[in-house]
Each structure stands twice: as structure tokens, then as C-alpha cells.
């Protein structure tokens, strides 16, 4: 009983130190807690959360795994582990497996209340989203909403998925609800701006982007805009700077500029509304030049999408050139692996 009391006292001290920004002191108290109770799930989870905040991802994952092993019914350790797998490690399939395990109702795992069940559906939805199963992600997000009721974060993610599916009217409704529920959600405001932009509501879109930027300028920078003449010049220079031996094979490939991919293009090519560029045609390695429909062969760069992923003009010009060379690389038959190796991914 003495050790148990000591364990909880140390956890309280660790929490107080952590909330006060005294990270090293908090970790020291958690170490003391683990001396009192070496298999303390809460202490391992607390260490994991602090290490995660410090960017020590692998160490944090180890602590969350120890937490889940120490007490399989301690749900917070499970949830943190899944979120870390999704957000920082890109282990999406593993995250899906762990969500399914929690949802299975196995006796050795925690019984989920409705709020926690909704969170597991949401985490699984995010993993499935990154695995490019947008319909599956939408189903799971709506299941989370059905489980817990209106939740701003879940509504925002629903809107994000609907935007990626090019269902702009539905996306606008979901994101408007989310922003109404939480006006300080930069994520919801930014994605609402994306939707409004595609719906030709330019002033409202600009307002949403500005508000998102004011809340989190690092995460949601304002677009780095340039005029179309400078944009075209940057794209042309990308091809002019290719080695002469390559230029002769791409001289007949036009580079077009559009603001965004059209609805027809998104449907035909199954691409995101946020795609930066695309190559359309038959790569030289797959057909003889005389056999190609040359009038269909082209590269398209999407101006507004490129502007939104860059922080300043120099960054934008560099990204235009990388994207143009990337798409020309597809015309030459280069794979994504080849392009990444050449620094054009």
C-alpha cells in the first residue's frame, strides 16, 4: 500500500511539473513512480506523452507500448500509441490493426465507452484516409459522429474527406458546421477556404485562409502568389535547364497552366483537388513517338495549388520547377522511385 501511495503521489507531482513546463522534473517524478511500481501503465504513458512533445518519437512509442503491456485495459496508452503511429510514423496498416483490436471487445482489452469508441473510429478513419481509401475514411468518420454526436474535429475531418472526393457542396456544409462549433479551428477554417475557393467564392475563401493563418501561421501560411507571366517563365526555365540530350525528347510536350484540376480531370484520373501537376499522355518508353496521340500529350501545372504549398516567391519558383521536371520525368518513363532518387519527387 505504501508503494502504491508513493506511485500516485509521484504521478501527481509529475503532472504538476509537466503543466508548469518543467519537463525534466516531470520525467524525474515519473522515474520515481516507476521505482515504486515498475509496471505502472500511467507512468509509462506519461513518459510517452512528454517524450512525444519533445519529438523523441521512437522513445515515446516504446513507452506507449510498455504502458499497453503493463495494463492492457488502460485505454489512454492504446490511443496514444495509435495516434503516434498515424501522425508521426506513417504506420497506417499497423494503426488500423490496433483500432480493430480495440473495437473487437476482447476480454483482455478495455471496454470502450461511447466517447472512446468514437475516438477509435476517428483514428482508424485517419489511418484509412492516408491509405487512400477515402470512402472508407468517410464511412468511419460518420460512424464516429453517429457514436458521439456532433463533434467539431470529426466534422472538420468529414469536410476534408469530402473535399478530397470533390464533393464540394457537402464539404462546405460539414466544414461550416465545424467552424460554427469551433471558430478557432485552423484546420476547419483552412479546409473551408479550399472549398470556397473551388466554388468561386473568392472573398469568403480569402477570409477563411487569413483567419486560419492568424490562428497558426506556421501550419497555415498564406499563399505565395505570383503573376502568370512569372509562373510561366519559371516553368519554361525548368525545361530549358534540362540537359540537351533530354530536351530534344520533351520539346514537343506542352506545359499548360491551370488554377486547379477540373472536375472532369479529377474524375478521369482519380486525383486530389490539391494535386500540384500532372502528366497526361503515353510515356516514351511505352510507345513509339509515331504511335502516340501527340495532341493529348501534355503537362499541366496547377497554379493556385502550388502557391498554397510555398511560403515565399523563391520557394514557389523552385517548387514550380521541381513539379515541371517531375511530370516531364513521367513522359520519359521514370518511375516515382527514379524521380525521388533524382530529387524530383
CA distances from 129 to 23, 43, 97, 149 (A): 34, 32, 15, 21
Give the E-state strand segments of 184-250 in sequence order. Answer: none
Per-residue confidence (pLDDT) for residue 248, from 0 to 100: 72
**Cα distance between residue 123 and residue 137, in whole Å:** 10
**Cα distance between residue 255 and residue 174, in whole Å:** 36
**Cα distance between residue 145 and residue 142, in whole Å:** 5
Which residues, in sequence order, are bridge partners of residue 301? 257, 277
**Cα distance between residue 319 and residue 27, in whole Å:** 42
Q: What is the pLDDT along the chain (345 residues), one digit of tens a residue?
A: 557 789 999 999 999 999 999 999 999 999 999 999 999 999 999 999 999 999 999 999 999 999 999 999 999 999 999 999 999 999 999 999 999 999 999 999 999 999 999 999 999 999 999 999 999 999 999 999 999 999 999 999 999 999 999 999 999 999 999 999 999 999 999 999 999 999 999 999 999 999 999 999 999 999 999 999 999 999 888 888 877 767 777 777 888 999 999 999 999 999 999 999 999 987 766 655 545 455 578 899 999 999 999 999 999 999 998 998 888 888 777 666 765 665 554
- Which of 216, 214, 227 lies closest to 304 in space, CA to CA? 227
Which domains, from first to last, does the chain contain?
150-222 (1.25.40.10), 228-341 (3.30.2010.20)
**Cα distance between residue 171 and residue 194, in whole Å:** 10
**Cα distance between residue 195 and residue 89, in whole Å:** 29
Strand arrangement of the beta sheet that strand 298-302 belongs to: 255-258, 298-302, 277-280
Backbone angles phi, psi at 45, to 5 degrees: -65, -40
Per-residue confidence (pLDDT) for residue 295, from 0 to 100: 54
Amino acid at each position: 500500500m505504501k508503494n502504491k501511495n508513493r506511485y500516485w503521489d509521484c504521478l501527481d507531482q509529475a503532472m504538476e511539473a509537466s503543466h508548469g513546463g518543467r519537463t525534466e522534473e516531470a520525467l524525474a517524478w515519473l522515474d520515481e513512480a516507476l521505482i515504486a511500481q515498475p509496471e505502472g501503465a500511467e507512468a509509462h504513458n506519461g513518459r510517452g506523452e512528454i517524450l512525444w512533445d519533445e519529438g523523441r518519437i521512437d522513445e515515446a512509442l516504446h513507452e506507449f507500448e510498455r504502458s499497453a503491456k503493463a495494463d492492457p485495459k488502460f485505454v489512454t496508452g492504446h490511443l496514444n500509441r495509435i495516434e503516434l503511429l498515424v501522425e508521426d510514423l506513417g504506420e497506417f496498416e499497423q494503426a488500423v490493426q490496433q483500432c480493430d483490436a480495440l473495437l473487437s471487445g476482447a476480454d483482455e482489452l478495455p471496454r470502450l465507452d461511447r466517447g472512446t469508441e468514437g475516438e477509435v473510429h476517428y483514428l482508424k478513419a485517419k489511418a484509412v484516409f492516408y491509405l487512400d481509401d477515402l470512402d472508407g475514411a468517410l464511412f468511419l468518420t460518420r460512424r464516429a459522429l453517429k457514436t458521439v454526436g456532433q463533434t467539431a474535429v470529426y466534422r472538420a475531418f468529414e469536410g476534408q474527406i469530402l473535399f478530397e472526393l470533390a464533393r464540394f457542396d457537402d464539404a462546405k456544409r460539414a466544414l461550416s458546421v465545424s467552424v460554427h462549433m469551433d471558430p478557432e479551428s485552423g484546420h476547419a477554417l483552412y479546409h473551408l477556404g479550399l472549398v470556397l475557393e473551388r466554388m468561386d467564392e473568392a472573398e469568403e475563401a480569402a477570409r477563411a485562409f487569413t483567419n486560419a493563418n492568424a490562428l497558426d501561421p506556421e501550419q497555415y501560411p498564406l499563399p505565395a502568389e505570383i503573376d502568370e507571366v512569372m509562373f510561366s517563365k519559371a516553368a519554361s526555365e525548368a525545361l530549358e535547364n534540362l540537359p540537351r540530350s533530354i530536351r530534344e525528347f520533351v520539346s514537343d510536350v506542352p506545359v499548360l497552366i491551370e488554377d486547379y484540376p477540373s472536375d472532369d480531370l479529377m474524375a478521369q484520373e482519380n486525383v486530389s483537388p490539391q494535386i500540384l501537376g500532372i502528366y497526361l499522355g503515353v510515356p516514351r518508353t511505352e510507345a513509339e513517338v509515331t504511335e502516340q496521340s501527340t495532341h493529348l500529350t501534355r503537362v499541366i501545372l496547377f497554379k493556385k495549388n502550388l502557391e498554397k504549398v510555398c511560403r515565399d516567391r523563391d520557394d514557389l519558383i523552385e517548387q514550380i520547377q521541381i513539379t515541371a521536371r517531375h511530370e516531364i520525368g513521367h513522359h520519359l518513363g521514370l518511375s516515382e522511385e527514379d524521380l525521388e532518387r533524382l530529387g524530383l519527387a
